[in-house]
Structure 1
């Protein structure tokens, strides 16, 4: 009798599908991270060492960018008189009593003081300055 030597099957792990899945996940995460950026007005807030609680009550924001553009609640303001009329209307409607001023650190001090003066003369008594 002729006995054949039995061929032994060597187990192999096929990792082709694993590589496909990993590459697809990598591509997905690379694409999805580009959508995470926060849209908004680009400003560089000044640093401060004092920590203050975040504003939790209803408030409005006035943003002053590095090129001296003024935004009120993400809406661009064309001139100071328009800002004054918006603030007077907000104060008459009693929509919040706090105004948060977010000014870029490169903005001249006089511009920030001028905006804060308009806020104060519009009737708002509470003004906060945002920092990092």
Structure 2
């Protein structure tokens, strides 16, 4: 099983929480293109950190499940995982995350309905996950 920190999403999607801090409204922005620069920076950083594939797997895992899945698995809603205030519905955040995915991997095919096989999101911080990943590779 390929384990990935759930909070890798938090780390690489700070543009979403930043938007809602600056624009404390509910709902999907009318132009999702406002997240494109943030997605480009996230892609570059994840690529530089050797985490681009893991980020895609984590993103695809979340997007392949319904709104209740994170609550059932981790006791948190998606807005809590992403650090979005004011709270947004999973439907809103899924739309934004799908835009991130489209921008970061423009040629990516559809996500399998059951999510990427062999992936498990785990409730550990990114730095601890990185330590564990590095130790398993050495």
TM-score by length of 1: 0.32
Greater RCO (Cα-Cα under 8 Å, separation 6 or more): 2
Decide which structure has greater strand share: 1
Decide which structure has greater helix share: 2
Larger Rg: 1
TM-score by length of 2: 0.31
